[in-house]
């Protein structure tokens, strides 16, 4: 080193070189330093930005519990003052400040301090959930640091919690009505079933709307949805707090009734709910009516697990529907078998419709005054390959429940009209129309088409409807009836006396004819009240210019009596059973000779009339009228 200095000192020009080298070194060192400083500053500012833009609140404390660092989010999260919450502030002061500003209660403040101490002492990450007085939920996570301090993050999970709660709600509730759904009701049933005490019962009332599909089809889904909500409200209004109503989707609802002392109690609830739901609705200016059929199962009698009880209530509802709707039924074990039976029948009926397995028979209706066949009623016959003849009274309701009646009804109309078009004179055909066929508006078009294709004049078509059609009480049905009548089609009130027999129905539409139900005719010769009723109907009908047909006339005594009571027509085995289309034509052709002609023909008719088909052993009837 000394040698080097001597070497430089010996020559002044070497000094200059040395000075230049030193200056260069210093400049390079300075540049490196400045660069490092800038980088440090940049890094710090990046860190600052990152910390202050975190979605979580962040605090860092040193070993002595003084704040080293905290971000803006932390201050905002708890609504604190940046004047207080700054580096150096003790954790004690911070807790005090939070109590002052309302994000921590005094009691929580104590727990908070204990908890923090424990977290630091345990030397591991610890989280806890804090519920703020304003309803927000914050997750606080503390991580101890090697030097004895700790870092805490504060995460506001209120929105996530709400979303989770909403998802949980949706999983257990029906979005349309807000009612519990099937899952929730089953859970509730589990709980309640475990609680049922000896001698107490629990009931499931299952129901759906009798006409919902047609309301949906006719008025649109928006109206349908509103109706469902209104039904849900009304049904809920009938319940006690301990009962639960759930919507199972579509138009199906179930009620869980608890704390029942007598097995008959659910009947009272069923009646209340029905009464409430059946009141008229005004939805978007539409006057709507609906009714419900209710099935009831009872625990422990009908089952002790939710699925079994629901299934049994469902079966009971199915049974209620097949007994005329707008009613309720308690489950009975025999229903299981009946439902199976009906399902098989439905399948077989579908097959029969598809494979031409059905036939129309015709039963003459006789004008008593003129002794003439004025019309024949078309009656459906089904000869099942294994069961033999199945009564329409058995399979028509199945066709109605399953919607098959729509296709079937159209087939009947076409067939009956084309048969009648080939009948002599102006003999009319009477076709039974189910109330379900009025539910969609295509009936009028189907009638027009059947008349056009067959060439039958409209006045030779009679449509037989029951009171059930008018009980629907909606304007579409009445409008369809009026349009049919304007076409020239005759409208007949069938089975009068079996439904509500309300005379107001007779006044609500200008019927051409009333058919008095067989149940009155059966007793007419023996019972005074039956004849009084028949007389009342015939006099009302004659004042309204309507024809009256006595149905099911089987004896000469009945015939004499109905004549005396003023009936204008008769239909029944006494004159003729329903018969095939071919025999009907033969009978009509032979009738040129009046009753006597028919009598001559009856033995021949006997070959193919329905007694062969149904196996009835009724003797061939003779008229002596
Ligand atoms: P309904 O419209 O009252 O038909 C008259 C029923 O009485 C027929 O029963 C007929 O065979 C029966 N009958 C006629 N005279 C006598 C008698 O003197 N004594 C007795 N005991 N019965 C008599 P059926 O054919 O079994 O039909 C039963 C019901 O099924 C019908 O009652 C009707 O409501 C329905 N139905 C039959 N065919 C059709 C159809 O094509 N369409 C619709 N929608 N329903 C039909
Ligand atoms: Ca009829
Ligand atoms: Ca009838």
CATH of the domain at 584: 3.20.20.450
| 17, part of any domain | no
How far is the centre of ligand 2, averaged over its atoms, from the C-alpha of 492 (Å)? 9
Could you tell me if residue 425 is left (phi over 0), alpha (psi between -120 and 50 degrees) or otherwise beta?
left
State phi, psi for 420 to the nearest 5 degrees. Answer: -65, -30
How far is the centre of ligand 3, averaged over its atoms, from the C-alpha of 389 (Å)? 20
Cβ of 342: how many Cβ atoms within 10 Å?
Answer: 20
- Provide mean pLDDT across the span 251-280: 94
Ligand closest to 406 (CA) is 1
Q: What is the pLDDT of residue 618?
A: 34
Rounded to an integer, what distance in angstroms lies between the CA atom of residue 534 and that of residue 514?
11
Q: What is the pLDDT of residue 238?
A: 96
Are residue 75 and residue 124 in the same domain, yes or no?
yes
Ligand closest to 611 (CA) is 1
Q: What is the pLDDT of residue 105?
A: 86
Atom of ligand 1 nearest to the CA of 517: 3
Q: Is the dihedral of CA 573, 574, 580, 581 positive or negative?
A: negative
The CATH code of the domain that includes 94 is 3.30.450.20
Does residue 594 have a cis bond before it (omega within 30 degrees)?
no
Which segment of 146-150, 217-221, 324-328 scores lowest on mean pLDDT? 324-328
Q: What is the pLDDT of residue 15?
A: 79
Domain count along the chain: 3
Are residue 271 and residue 133 in the same domain, yes or no?
no
| 44, part of any domain | no
Are residue 502 and residue 549 in the same domain, yes or no?
yes
Atom of ligand 1 nearest to the CA of 391: 26
How far is the centre of ligand 2, averaged over its atoms, from the C-alpha of 536 (Å)? 21
Distances in Å between the alpha carbon of 309 and those of 236, 302, 521, 615?
A: 21, 6, 44, 41
What spatial distance separates the first Cα and last Cα of the chain, rounded to whole Å?
Answer: 158
Q: 147: exposed, middle or buried (C-beta count within 10 Å: 0-12, 13-18, 19+)?
A: exposed
Distances in Å between the alpha carbon of 95 and those of 85, 116, 122?
A: 10, 11, 21
| Beta partners for residue 286, in sequence order | 283
Are residue 319 and residue 357 in the same domain, yes or no?
no
Rounded to an integer, what distance in angstroms lies between the CA atom of residue 624 and that of residue 211?
47
How far is the centre of ligand 3, averaged over its atoms, from the C-alpha of 547 (Å)? 14
Rounded to an integer, what distance in angstroms lies between the CA atom of residue 317 and that of residue 109?
59
How far is the centre of ligand 2, averaged over its atoms, from the C-alpha of 517 (Å)? 9
- Most confident listed range (100-114, 193-207, 446-460): 446-460
Cα–chain center distance at 346: 22
∠ at Cα 58 (54, 64), nearest 5°? 160
Q: What is the pLDDT of residue 616?
A: 38
| 10, part of any domain | no
Give the model confidence (pLDDT) of 519-541 as tens digits: 989 988 887 788 888 998 999 89
Are residue 548 and residue 472 in the same domain, yes or no?
yes
Pocket lining for ligand 1, CB < 6 angstroms:
363, 378-380, 391-393, 396, 412, 432, 434, 464, 494-495, 518, 552-554, 571-573, 578
Higher pLDDT, 531 or 8: 531
617 pLDDT higher than 50? no
Cβ 298 vs Cβ 266: under 8 Å: yes
- Provide mean pLDDT across the span 279-306: 92
Are residue 300 and residue 380 in the same domain, yes or no?
no
| 4, part of any domain | no
Atom of ligand 1 nearest to the CA of 393: 30
- Most confident listed range (258-262, 444-448, 600-604): 444-448
Residues bordering ligand 2, an ion, CB closer than 5 Å: 432, 464, 494
Atom of ligand 1 nearest to the CA of 515: 3
Give the model confidence (pLDDT) of 294-351 as tens digits: 999 999 999 999 999 999 999 999 888 877 677 899 999 998 888 888 889 999 999 9
Are residue 366 and residue 310 in the same domain, yes or no?
no
Rounded to an integer, what distance in angstroms lies between the CA atom of residue 494 and that of residue 365?
13
- Provide mean pLDDT across the span 263-289: 93
**pTM to 2 decimal places:** 0.59
Atom of ligand 1 nearest to the CA of 360: 41
- Which of these, 149, 130, 157, 160, lies nearest to 70 by C-alpha position? 149
Are residue 562 and residue 438 in the same domain, yes or no?
yes
Rounded to an integer, what distance in angstroms lies between the CA atom of residue 5 and that of residue 14?
10
222 pLDDT higher than 80? yes
| 22, part of any domain | no
| 429, part of any domain | yes
Percent of the chain with pLDDT over 90: 55
- Which of these, 326, 324, 234, lies nearest to 281 by C-alpha position? 234
- Provide mean pLDDT across the span 242-267: 93
276 pLDDT higher than 80? yes
Q: What is the pLDDT of residue 502?
A: 63
Q: What is the pLDDT of residue 501?
A: 55
| 573, part of any domain | yes
The chain-wide mean pLDDT, for the chain, equals: 87
Domain that holds residue 347: 341-622
Atom 21, ligand 1: which residue's CA is nearest?
A: 552
Q: What is the pLDDT of residue 1?
A: 58
Which segment of 83-97, 203-217, 576-590 scores lowest on mean pLDDT? 203-217
Ligand closest to 378 (CA) is 1
- Most confident listed range (27-41, 210-224, 262-276, 527-541): 262-276
Atom 24, ligand 1: which residue's CA is nearest?
A: 392
Give the model confidence (pLDDT) of 177-187 as tens digits: 999 999 999 99
Q: What is the pLDDT of residue 108?
A: 82
Query: 181: which 2 tokens?
Result: 């759904």
Q: How many residues does the chain have?
A: 625
Half-sphere exposure of 41 (CA within 13 A, CB side): 6
Domain endpoint, select from 141, 161, 181: 161
Q: What is the pLDDT of residue 119?
A: 67
Q: What is the pLDDT of residue 220?
A: 87
pLDDT range class, residue 610, cuts 50, 70, 90: low
263 pLDDT higher than 90? no
| 30, part of any domain | no
Distances in Å between the alpha carbon of 279 and those of 198, 210, 230, 273, 601?
A: 38, 14, 11, 10, 55
- Which of these, 51, 61, 246, 44, lies nearest to 143 by C-alpha position? 61
Q: What is the pLDDT of residue 604?
A: 42
Are residue 200 and residue 262 in the same domain, yes or no?
yes
Are residue 224 and residue 106 in the same domain, yes or no?
no
Q: What is the dihedral of CA 485, 393, 474, 289, to 10 degrees?
A: 180
- Give the mutation target among 359, 378, 392 for probing the ligand 1 site: most ligand atoms within 8 A of CB: 392
How far is the centre of ligand 3, averaged over its atoms, from the C-alpha of 371 (Å)? 21
Are residue 380 and residue 286 in the same domain, yes or no?
no
Higher pLDDT, 298 or 53: 298
Domain endpoint, select from 305, 332, 359: 332
Which segment of 124-128, 134-138, 542-546 scores lowest on mean pLDDT? 124-128
Atom of ligand 1 nearest to the CA of 610: 11
Q: 495: exposed, middle or buried (C-beta count within 10 Å: 0-12, 13-18, 19+)?
A: buried
Atom 20, ligand 1: which residue's CA is nearest?
A: 552
How far is the centre of ligand 3, averaged over its atoms, from the C-alpha of 227 (Å)? 34
Atom 7, ligand 1: which residue's CA is nearest?
A: 552
- Provide mean pLDDT across the span 271-284: 94
Domain endpoint, select from 266, 301, 332: 332
126 pLDDT higher than 60? yes
Are residue 372 and residue 482 in the same domain, yes or no?
yes
Cβ 219 vs Cβ 228: under 8 Å: no
Which segment of 111-120, 155-164, 262-271, 274-283 scores lowest on mean pLDDT? 111-120
């Amino acid at each position: 080193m000394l040698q080097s200095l001597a070497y430089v000192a010996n020559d002044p020009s070497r000094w200059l070189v040395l000075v230049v080298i030193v200056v260069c070194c210093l400049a390079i060192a300075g540049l490196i330093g400045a660069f490092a400083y800038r980088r440090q500053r940049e890094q710090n500012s990046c860190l600052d930005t990152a910390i202050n833009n975190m979605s979580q609140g962040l605090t860092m404390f040193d070993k002595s519990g003084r704040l080293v660092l905290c971000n803006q989010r932390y201050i905002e999260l708890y609504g604190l003052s940046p004047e207080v919450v700054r580096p150096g502030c003790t954790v004690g002061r911070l807790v005090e400040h939070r109590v002052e500003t309302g994000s921590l209660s005094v009691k929580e403040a104590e727990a908070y301090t204990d908890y923090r101490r424990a977290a630091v002492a345990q030397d591991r990450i610890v989280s806890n959930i804090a519920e703020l007085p304003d309803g927000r939920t914050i997750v606080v996570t503390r991580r101890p640091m090697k030097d004895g301090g700790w870092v805490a993050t504060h995460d506001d999970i209120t929105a996530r919690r709400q979303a989770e709660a909403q998802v949980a709600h949706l999983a257990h509730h029906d979005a349309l009505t807000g009612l519990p759904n099937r899952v929730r009701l089953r859970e509730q049933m589990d709980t309640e079933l475990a609680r049922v005490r000896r001698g107490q019962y629990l009931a499931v009332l299952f129901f759906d709307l009798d006409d919902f599909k047609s309301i949906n089809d006719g008025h649109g889904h928006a109206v349908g949805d509103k109706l469902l909500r209104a039904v849900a409200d009304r049904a809920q209004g009938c319940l006690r707090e301990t009962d639960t109503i759930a919507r199972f989707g579509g138009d199906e609802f179930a009620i869980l009734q608890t704390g029942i002392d007598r097995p008959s109690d659910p009947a009272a609830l069923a009646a209340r709910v029905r009464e409430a739901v059946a009141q008229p609705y005004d939805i978007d200016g539409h006057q709507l009516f609906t009714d419900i059929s209710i099935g009831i199962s009872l625990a422990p009698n009908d089952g002790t697990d939710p699925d079994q009880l629901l299934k049994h209530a469902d079966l009971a509802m199915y049974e209620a529907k097949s007994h005329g709707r707008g009613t309720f039924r308690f489950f009975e074990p025999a229903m299981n078998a009946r439902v199976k039976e009906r399902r098989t029948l439905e399948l077989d009926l579908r097959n029969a419709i598809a494979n031409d397995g059905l036939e129309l028979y015709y039963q003459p209706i006789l004008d008593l005054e003129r002794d003439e066949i004025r019309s024949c009623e078309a009656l459906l016959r089904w000869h099942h390959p294994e069961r033999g003849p199945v009564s329409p009274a058995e399979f028509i309701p199945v066709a109605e429940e399953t919607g098959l009646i729509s296709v079937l009804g159209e087939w009947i109309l076409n067939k009956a009209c084309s048969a009648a078009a080939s009948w002599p004179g102006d003999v009319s055909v009477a076709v039974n129309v189910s109330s379900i066929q009025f539910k969609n508006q295509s009936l009028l078009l189907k009638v027009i088409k059947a008349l056009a294709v067959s060439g039958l004049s409209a006045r030779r078509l009679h449509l037989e409807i029951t009171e059930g059609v008018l009980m629907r009480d909606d304007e579409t049905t009445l409008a369809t009836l009026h349009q049919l009548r304007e076409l020239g089609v005759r409208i007949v009130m069938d089975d009068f006396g079996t439904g509500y027999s309300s005379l107001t129905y007779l006044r609500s539409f200008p019927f051409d004819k009333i058919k008095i139900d067989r149940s009155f005719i059966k007793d007419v010769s023996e019972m005074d009240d039956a004849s009084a009723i028949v007389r009342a109907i015939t006099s009302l009908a004659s004042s309204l210019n309507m024809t009256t047909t006595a149905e099911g006339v089987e004896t000469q005594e009945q015939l004499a009596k109905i004549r005396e009571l003023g009936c204008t027509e008769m239909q029944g085995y006494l004159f003729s059973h329903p018969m095939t289309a071919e025999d009907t034509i033969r009978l009509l052709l032979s009738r040129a000779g009046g009753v006597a002609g028919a009598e001559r023909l009856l033995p021949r008719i006997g070959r193919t009339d329905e007694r062969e088909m149904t196996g009835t052993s009724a003797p061939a009837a003779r008229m002596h009228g």
